[in-house]
Amino acid sequence: MRKAILAKFVQVLLAALILNSVIFYVVSSSMMLKTSRKNMLYTLETIDSILDYEKGLPEQIEKMAGITGVNHNRLTLIYEDGTVAADTGVDAEGMDNHLEREEVAAALQDGVGYATRHSSTLNQTMLYVACRSAHHNLILRLAVPFSGMREYLPMLLPAAWLSFAVAVLASLSVTDRLVSSVTRPIRDLSNEMMKLRGDSMELHFTPSPYPEINVIGTTTVKMSQNVREYLNQIEKERKIRQEFFSNASHELKTPITSIQGYAELLENDIVTDEAMKKDFIHRIKKEAVHMTSLINDILMISRLEAKEAETAFSQVRVAVVLQDVRDSIEPMAAGQGVFLHTDCPPVSIWANPQQIRELFMNLVSNAVKYNHPGGQVWVTVREQDGQLILKVRDNGMGIPEDSLDRIFERFYRVDKGRSRKQGGTGLGLSIVKHIVNFYHGTIQVHSKMEEGTEFVVAIPMESEETETNTR
């Protein structure tokens, strides 16, 4: 990059210097031509005022020969019909008619005429200036050798080459510093990126005087941070999956071990009492149901996370779903002495009926399970600003403050002993969280120990997810 910039800059510099030289040559030549014309016209006017036309033109022109004849300068007096009256260089009688000469024609028409052409007589380029006489019916013409800037090129060329070389060297020095100031931040940023090894390394970028490079630097730093956050998130998800599989294996191993133990006792005829046999069979069935429930919950979480399974949506009458959930939970609530209060107007939501039922069931059943005898549970449903608002509040034991951030984790239990006694899988609130996320909703929890807990869920009545799945 450094060499490419230097090469391009040198090319531009050379082109600029050459163009500048050409412009200087053209302008200088033009100025010299104008100055020479002006001086020659002044000379002609002076000669016109000095000549005594009454004493004869040949005699007067001879007086001017000593003045104008230097360096092949020629003074010519021409009649208005183009006939040469006198000339300081040659005999006028042998000269051609000058009426068609450019400078003479212009002088006859405008009073002053100019021309530059090659003279065959002197074999060199001549500058001609002609003007009307103010004292006689004549055209005065002065001719001088004129080569323009070419005459001075041998003298100016060494100075031009010297200034050219100085300009190139000075520009190279300035360009080298400029290129260094441009490439250094990029090189430093590249070195910093090469140092990135492991999670502990941080990318550092020192701002430069150039906003464009700063944009690259800040964007690279931000990308580095995003990549690090992404890798951290992947690592976090890996740990969550590892913990999930570990917990799932443990949760499945417990009922399988129980089933295997009871089955071996029955298989070996160790138990002969019929009542005990029925009790073992009942326990095997209970463990199988628990294992089936656990597997179903795991599969539901996987489907909600993947969002790949086709889900059937319809208009779900929330009051009907809530009543069905209440009928299912009433026996458990009655057994624990917990009173249920429900309040739901006739509203409908476009969703999957099974998912909405699972959402209500997990929240209400948790409120009943983790309550005191004689406790109460209030379930209210409202429609507000295009959202379905579900509130489930109880006056039970509450959730410790340090556990509020973890209750939606899979298999996390606040009171592990009581949770296992209640027969839960430890996935209920995790399923709730996944369902709420599936519908792009929000969930909040407020709790105080021995005062109770309240869950507030807000789900859009018509979410983008539901609209997409119906197409």
C-alpha span between 85 and 91 (Å, rounded)? 10
156 vs 344, higher pLDDT: 344
pTM to 2 decimal places: 0.47
Q: What is the pLDDT of residues 296-342, one digit of tens each?
A: 767 777 776 666 555 788 999 999 999 999 998 998 899 889 999 99
pLDDT at residue 121 is higher than 70: no
Q: What is the mean pLDDT of residues 435-444?
A: 91
C-beta neighbour count of 284 within 10 angstroms: 18
107 vs 268, higher pLDDT: 107
CA of 313: how far to CAs of 112, 246, 307, 330, in Å? Answer: 101, 34, 14, 28
Say what the pLDDT of residue 250 is.
61
Going through 328-386 in order, the beta strands assigned E by DSSP cover 339-343, 348-351, 376-384
Q: What is the mean pLDDT of residues 4-14?
A: 74
DSSP 260: H
What DSSP element (H or E) covers 87? strand 84-87
259, two tokens: 């089933």
Q: What is the mean pLDDT of residues 390-403?
A: 90
Say what the pLDDT of residue 424 is.
56
445, two tokens: 């929890």
C-alpha span between 60 and 57 (Å, rounded)? 5
pLDDT at residue 15 is higher than 50: yes
Rounded to the nearest 10 degrees, what angle do helices 211-267 and 274-306 cross at?
Answer: 160
Say what the pLDDT of residue 185 is.
73
234 vs 323, higher pLDDT: 323
The 8 Å CB, 24+ separation contacts for 88-93 are: 88/61, 88/62, 88/64, 89/121, 90/121, 92/58
Which residues is 317 bridged to in the sheet?
348
The rounded radius of gyration (Å) of the Cα atoms in the chain is 54
Say what the pLDDT of residue 345 is.
93
Phi, psi for 226 (deg, rounded to 5): -65, -40
Say what the pLDDT of residue 466 is.
46
Say what the pLDDT of residue 470 is.
43
257 vs 251, higher pLDDT: 257
CA of 241: how far to CAs of 106, 234, 351, 414, in Å? Answer: 102, 10, 28, 20
pLDDT, the chain, mean: 79
pLDDT at residue 416 is higher than 60: no
Q: What is the mean pLDDT of residues 355-368?
A: 91
464 vs 371, higher pLDDT: 371
Which residues is 117 bridged to in the sheet?
126
DSSP string, 178-192: HHHHHHHHHHHHHHH
Alpha helices in 409-462 (DSSP H): 416-422, 428-438
Q: What is the mean pLDDT of residues 252-276?
A: 78
Say what the pLDDT of residue 419 is.
47
Say what the pLDDT of residue 129 is.
94
pLDDT at residue 464 is higher than 90: no
Strands 376-384 and 339-343: parallel
Q: What is the mean pLDDT of residues 146-166?
A: 71
Say what the pLDDT of residue 471 is.
42
The residue assigned the tokens 């939606």 is: 408
410 vs 328, higher pLDDT: 328
C-beta neighbour count of 181 within 10 angstroms: 13
